[in-house]
Amino acid sequence: MQQICYQPIGRIHSPFIEPKGTPIQPRAAEGVEGTVVVFPEYTDGLQDIEGFSHLTLIYHFHLAQPGPLRATPFLDTQSRGIFAMRGPSRPNPIGVSVVRLIAVDGARLQVQDVDIVDGTPLLDIKPYVPAFDDRPADRIGWLTTRVQKLQASHDDGRFANMP
């Protein structure tokens, strides 16, 4: 199969200088402010973005170490398949976060609910549209009895030294 290569379109800035201690999902980072800086050659793509209250940021987990296809997620003590969890050490270390858009100033987007390490390469931005993106789930697998731990959960460094 042909190799797929992406170029960053910008950088995400946050108060988190390393993965350890970073909230593990945007809901656990409510109110945390950050900035998305879009590179000059992509700023035309920001036209009309201020009309959206939330954005989906797609980014590269640039500090993630390669890992096995089974690992222990942050909200659990049992090993799970990497595709049944949202950990950063994955075959393609791509992250997705829905953040609140606060303001647009040229190529700078002020956002809230940031669960992303400072300096993370931004791959894409999509508007969050509840009618498109918010789907009721019939089941949430192993997270059913653990999702209530989210607010108190932060990266504890377990993915930093993966083999």
Q: Supply the pLDDT for residue 1.
A: 86
Query: If you average pLDDT over residues 100-107, what whole number do you get?
Result: 98
Picking from 23, 37, 36, the residue whose alpha carbon sits closest to that of residue 115 is: 23
Structure confidence at residue 150 as a pLDDT band (50, 70, 90): low
Structure confidence by residue, pLDDT tens digits, 49-89: 999 999 999 999 999 988 899 988 877 889 999 999 888 99
Is residue 5 situated within a structural domain?
A: no
Min mean pLDDT across 12-16, 119-123, 140-144 is at 140-144
Is residue 159 situated within a structural domain?
A: no
The CATH number for 81's domain is 2.40.30.70
Is residue 73 situated within a structural domain?
A: yes
Tokens of 159: 């993915």
Residue 104 has pLDDT above 80, yes or no: yes
Residue 116 has pLDDT above 90, yes or no: yes
Is residue 52 situated within a structural domain?
A: yes
Domain encompassing residue 42: 10-152
Is residue 33 situated within a structural domain?
A: yes
